[in-house]
Amino acid sequence: MSTQQRVVPAGSTTGGSWTAWLRTRIVGLVPEGQALPDRQPAYVASWIYVFGVLTLAALVVVVGSGLALAVGGSAWWHTSSFGHFINSMHLWSVELFFAVMVIHLWGKFWMAAWRGKRALTWMTGVVAFVASIGTAFTGYLSQSNFDSQWISGEAKDGINSIGAGAYFNVLNPGQMLMWHVVLLPLAVGVIAVLHVILVRRHGVVPPLDADLPEHASERAGD
């Protein structure tokens, strides 16, 4: 009984294998040297470019404190002083997250950040902002206190008016908690990762009056 060996042509990167195809796609997402660059154009020294990184840093704290709250359980932050501290950290990191994200969003809007084939980068940022609003809303509904009761009571009429109350029941704390800790954070995380990949792929947007040929040589790997 003879066996046949598949011969891969010289220079082929995939050879028909899905693992090789996936590896090639991953490597091709970001140009070489741009995943974690050690040099940036001179205009990145401006403060307006800081708020994107601050948004990511706040998001890391939000996710970390949220994981700690999930381990403790839905009533832990009401009965434990340490749980109350973690809950407060989660709340204020969310507040910081939205504050710096709004500055980042408006800063890039006035810089016309969709220039230079960066339209998808801009769109993913906007979608991440909208998804974050939904995540924060379900978080307020999951507080299991009077605030969450009042917010859900006021929100139900608006949700029902668009016919979504049967699928998104704001008076169901269990459903809102699952939306908050599973579905919406997953969406925000995936979109944020895609946004960062696009930023690294196309580079940060230069100022409107930047001399592009002059700054292009300062980019790492060029």
CATH number of domain containing 125: 1.20.810.10
d(CA 109, CA 208): 11
Residue 15 banded pLDDT, cuts 50, 70, 90 = low
Q: Which helix (H) or strand (E) segment is 164 a member of?
A: none
- pLDDT value for 29: 76
d(CA 150, CA 156): 10
Assigned domain for 184 exists? yes
- Residues 125, 79, single domain; the answer is no
- Residues 196, 166, single domain; the answer is yes
- Residues 133, 165, single domain; the answer is yes
Assigned domain for 60 exists? yes
What domain range includes position 164?
Answer: 112-205
Assigned domain for 89 exists? yes
- pLDDT tens-digit readout, 185-210: 999 999 999 999 999 888 888 988 87
pTM for the predicted model, two decimal places: 0.79
Domains identified in the chain, total number: 2
Assigned domain for 116 exists? yes
- pLDDT tens-digit readout, 33-62: 677 777 878 888 889 999 999 999 999 999
DSSP 197-214: HHHHHH-PPPPTT--HHH
Radius of gyration of the chain (CA): 23
